[in-house]
Chains A and B, each alone.
Chain A
Amino acid sequence: MAMTCDDIQAMLDREGGLTTGEARDHVHQCPACQEAWARWQAVQRELRAMGEEETPPFLHTRLMAHVQSAAHEGDRKGAWMFGLNKIWAGPIFVLFLGLLLGGFGLVQMLKPKVPAPAAEVSKRPVHQEARAAKGEPSGDEGRTSAKSLNLPTSEPAPSPAPPEIQHDFAGLAAPPVVSEQSRAREAPSLFAPAPAQETAGQEPYRPLSNRPAEASQEGRIEAASDPGATSRAARAEMAAPPSEDQAPASVVCTLSPLSGPGPFISLQLPSEASPPSGGIWTILLSPGGALRVQDVQGKAVTAPERILQEIIHPLHIPPGSYRLKRIS
């Protein structure tokens, strides 16, 4: 079947040229298709020429200037925060620090001045704490003591000569005398007289310092039921005028590792749980928490083991061999 003029035109539209011999034969014989073919070729040439047309002068310069400008603008936008940080990092940090400290100070000013139990526990002499918690040592109190003593709770980093940590236990043993009125002002929740309905059937509130004979026993009872009351009991004992039989016979000892790195701790111990004057004991702490005491001859000293266990165990001292030396 011979191709028609419409077929030729469709081929030109579809293929962009005469792609078959039959089409070329038809165009060769058909004047209308010859004209259409010539017209098509002219259009194609002109379209190709459009692809080679001159471009505006300074096209490259204009494009590059615009691109660079936009790129730098983008850099500026992108680097805005970075630049801000770079320039204002110092002032912003100082401002932030000031706000932080100011806020902290404001919180401290607005906070009701209740004596913190942890702070109180840390101020108690160790032997009093041991007495107050005798029979039922509290792990929480022990951890608090360890923290207040700034002791390492894990294996300390090796150091050739660990500095000795000295705590002024003597100053803590004689707390300042605080009047009842000032106590009530400072901590009404603790020191204000108890409401009548709460004390019904009980004796009226009296400061512990006014009843020294009961203070110790009462403090132990409170300590067993209420951790916060431990501080009150200890404070009562400290505030009570010491009598000859109640005066704590405490001594200051140092606990240091026999060899190698380890904590170097000053402890205030009851005299019965401390070496004789100028003496040295060896404390063996097993990984399981057991404590053994030996004198300089290697003889076991069993009497103070329980007291020392109660005092030393909450400090989370790493297992090992330690030297307990009495200083005073």
Chain B
Amino acid sequence: MTPVLVYPWTMDERGPTDKTLHRDWDADAASVSRFQAGDEEAFEALVRSREKEVYRTAVRILGDPEDAMEAAQETFIRVFRSLRSFRNDASFKTWVTGICINVCRTMLSSSAGRMKRRSTGLIKESRADGDDLDPGIPDRAPDPSASALGSELNAALAKALMILSPEHREVIVLRDIQDLDYDEMGKILDCPAGTVKSRLSRAREALRQALEGIWP
């Protein structure tokens, strides 16, 4: 009989792309249990486990490193304050990402943030040359010898993402950047998996159209 590997999430057609995900999930659950038992040092392990994902999600949704840092800080503060009531209905990763998305939505809907991003967007759109496509998002590619095509595409993608609506940006970030499955996305976005799929399809179409004018 073939042993069945049960993952804590519903696998989509691609399955988990990283086998360490299962181990990470167990480590998160253990840290959550320790924290809920009164060991506040366990929270540092949870932050270390999810801080990069949270920051990357925030920076791609907000489009600004400073705002992303602020969002990440606010996310983990909220996590700290409500982690004792976390009941493992979803994985810790899904829960944290959901909080991050909510924080980003709040920041996007705030009047100050809206004004700032609007002006940033106007500046970006007014620049046609590719040298300064997205000054707000540093290119921190791990491979410094990445091809010029990749860097150009990276910058074009960053700009195209900011052209998308926040809803479309969220599903692109969650699915294509953070590699979450549809069920996890449904929990985070509070909608059924079918809605997530259709929204993702429209988002990809919008991204493709946005890229056509930026990345020939």
Contact = CB atoms under 8 A, between A and B. Distances in A.
Given A13-B205, A44-B176, A74-B81, A59 B56 contact: no
Given A46-B157, A50-B56, A53-B142, A13 B77 contact: no
A19 B13 CA distance: 10
Contacts of A67: 43, 47, 73, 76-77, 80
Interface residues of A, number: 33
B204 A50 contact: no
Contact of B179 (A14, A48, A59): A48
B10 interface: no
A272 B81 CA distance: 81
Contacts of B81: 71, 74
B105 to A, nearest CB: 20
Contact of B51 (A19, A46, A52, A55): A55
A116 interface: no
B80 A47 contact: no
Interface residues of B, number: 42
Contacts of B23: none
Tell me whether chain A's interface is mostly helix, strand or loop, or mixed.
helix
Interface in A5-56: 9-10, 12-16, 19, 40, 42-44, 46-56
A9 B207 CA distance: 13
B77 A66 contact: yes
A64 interface: yes
A63 B60 contact: no
A40 B153 CA distance: 11
Contact of A14 (B141, B158, B177, B201): B201
Nearest to A47: B176
A49 B154 contact: yes
B29 interface: no
Chain B CB within 10 A, most for which of A14, A19, A50: A50
B150 interface: yes
B211 interface: yes
Interface of A: 9-10, 12-16, 19, 40, 42-44, 46-56, 59-60, 62-64, 66-67, 70-71, 74
Interface of B: 13, 43-44, 47-48, 51-53, 55-56, 60, 65, 69, 72-73, 76-77, 80-81, 140-142, 149-150, 153-154, 157-158, 172, 175-179, 197, 201-202, 204-205, 207-208, 211
23 contacts: A13-B204, A14-B201, A42-B149, A42-B153, A43-B153, A47-B157, A47-B176, A48-B177, A49-B150, A49-B154, A50-B154, A50-B157, A53-B142, A55-B52, A55-B55, A59-B69, A60-B51, A62-B69, A62-B73, A63-B47, A64-B44, A66-B77, A67-B43
For the complex of A and B, 9 pairs with smallest distance between CB atoms: A54-B140, A47-B176, A13-B204, A51-B177, A66-B73, A14-B201, A70-B77, A13-B201, A13-B205
